[in-house]
C-alpha cells in the first residue's frame, strides 16, 4: 500500500437500516483501530520460558474515531439519534487500497465544541458491536 490521501479514509453509516450507506459529512480526521485479546497458555514446559499465546482465541474488537465540522443536517441528526437511542447500526469504513470493513458499531462518545470566533466542531467514537466483515480491494 503506497501513500494515500487521508481524506479518502471514509466512515459511512446506514441511514435507515436498508443497507444504503452515506458518508458522515464534515469529518476532517478519522482513525480505525483493530484489537485482539490474548490468551496466555504459557506453562513450565514452554520453550525457553517464553510466553505462549493461544492462536485464534480471545475477543476481537475495532474502534473508530472521527472529528470534524457540521456540514450535513442528515448525518448530524443520524449521529445524535444513534447515540441517544442506543442503536448499533451498520457502518462501513473505507480504507484506500486496503478494503472495506462493515458491521454494527455503537456510538460511545459524541463531543461538541466551538469558540466564539471559529466553527462548531464535533468528535465521535465508535466501538464494534458484533461481527465485522472485511472485503479487500
Q: What percentage of the chain has pLDDT greater than the value 90?
A: 58
Give the C-alpha separation, 122 to 114, whole Å: 9
| Spacing of C-alpha 34 from chain mean position | 9
Give the C-alpha separation, 123 to 65, whole Å: 7
Is residue 57 scored above 60 in pLDDT? Answer: yes
* Whole-model pTM over 0.95: no
Give the C-alpha separation, 24 to 42, whole Å: 44
Is residue 1 scored above 70 in pLDDT? Answer: no
- The x, y and z cell numbers of residue 7, run together, are 481524506
Q: Tens digits of per-residue pLDDT, 80-125?
A: 999 999 999 999 999 888 899 999 999 999 999 988 998 888 899 9
Under the banding of pLDDT at 50, 70 and 90, the label for residue 28 is confident
Q: What is the fold of 6-136?
A: Pnp Oxidase; Chain A (2.30.110)
Amino acid at each position: 500500500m503506497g501513500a494515500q490521501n487521508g481524506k479518502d479514509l471514509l466512515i459511512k453509516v446506514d441511514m435507515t437500516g436498508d443497507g444504503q450507506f452515506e458518508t458522515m459529512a464534515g469529518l476532517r480526521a478519522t482513525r480505525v483501530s483493530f484489537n485482539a485479546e490474548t490468551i496466555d497458555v504459557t506453562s513450565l514446559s514452554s520453550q525457553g520460558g517464553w510466553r505462549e499465546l493461544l492462536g485464534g482465541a480471545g475477543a476481537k474488537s475495532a474502534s473508530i474515531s472521527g472529528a470534524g465540522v457540521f456540514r450535513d443536517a442528515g448525518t448530524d441528526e443520524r449521529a445524535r439519534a444513534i447515540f441517544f437511542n442506543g442503536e448499533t447500526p451498520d457502518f462501513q469504513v473505507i480504507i484506500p487500497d486496503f478494503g472495506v470493513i462493515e458491521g454494527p458499531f455503537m456510538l460511545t462518545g459524541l463531543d461538541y465544541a466551538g469558540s466564539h470566533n471559529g466553527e462548531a466542531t464535533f468528535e465521535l467514537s465508535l466501538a464494534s458491536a458484533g461481527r465485522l466483515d472485511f472485503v479487500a480491494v
